[in-house]
Amino acid sequence: MRSYRPVNLNPLWFLLGLNLVIFVVTLISGSYPIRIDNPVVVLLGLHTGDFLHQPWTIITNLFVHGSFGHIICNMVSLYFLGRFLIQLVGAERFLIVYFLGGIVGNILFILLEPHSIGIGASGAIFALGGVLAMIAPGLRVFIIPIPVPVPLWVAMAIFLLISFIGRGIAWQAHLGGLLLGLMAGYYFKKKRVYFY
């Protein structure tokens, strides 16, 4: 018989809310579409060539988004992947994976794109997807416009491929986050620290 435990979604609501608040502030601070000279992007975005002068941006860039499409895609993904992962591993491990995935993705971005600006939570979200693909391989998700659910690992592969061929997408951050997520998922599976 499966036992049920209370699920604390407060960290997920906090991340979603903070992302939305910062996006609104970004819109208020400059014109749309959001440009690299927007004060919020200048202060919180990851400027790879100037990272040592703004080290906080390795985390703060995870809360900055460049367009309505960017934040909608990321927040919808964060909600569904995050909610399921919290149910499986708990809120603390969810937060650890989220932030480590974002940081590892940013490190790879710094190393491979030395004169760029990176914003967005995608690296952290790829980490969540990597964990879930490892510990819940049967999980199926919908991808618009595909009319039937596909295995999560297929969805992650499709999104990573889009990262490689899409213009202006930080594939390095996506790849770094995904690799961290896969390693974390392997660790969770080996130690049996999830509820599935």
**What is the residue extent of each domain of the chain?**
10-191
Rounded Cα–Cα distance for residues 150 and 141 (Å): 5
C-beta separation of 106 from 176 below 8 A:
yes
Rounded Cα–Cα distance for residues 160 and 167 (Å): 13
Structure tokens at 118: 């990176």
Query: According to the model, what pLDDT value does residue 144 have?
Result: 82
Beta bridge partners of 139: none
Query: According to the model, what pLDDT value does residue 126 have?
Result: 98
Query: According to the model, what pLDDT value does residue 2 have?
Result: 46
Query: According to the model, what pLDDT value does residue 4 have?
Result: 55
Query: According to the model, what pLDDT value does residue 146 have?
Result: 86
Peptide bond into 114 cis (omega under 30): no
* Residue ranges in the chain modelled with pLDDT below 70: 1-5, 194-196
Looking at CATH, the fold of the domain delimited by 10-191 is given as Rhomboid-like fold (1.20.1540)
Query: According to the model, what pLDDT value does residue 1 have?
Result: 38
DSSP for 88-138, please give it. HH-HHHHHHHHHHHHHHHHHHHHHH-TT-EE-SSHHHHHHHHHHHHHH-TT
Q: What is the pLDDT of residues 27-54, one digit of tens each?
A: 999 999 999 999 999 999 999 999 999 9
Residue the block writes with tokens 């591993």: 89
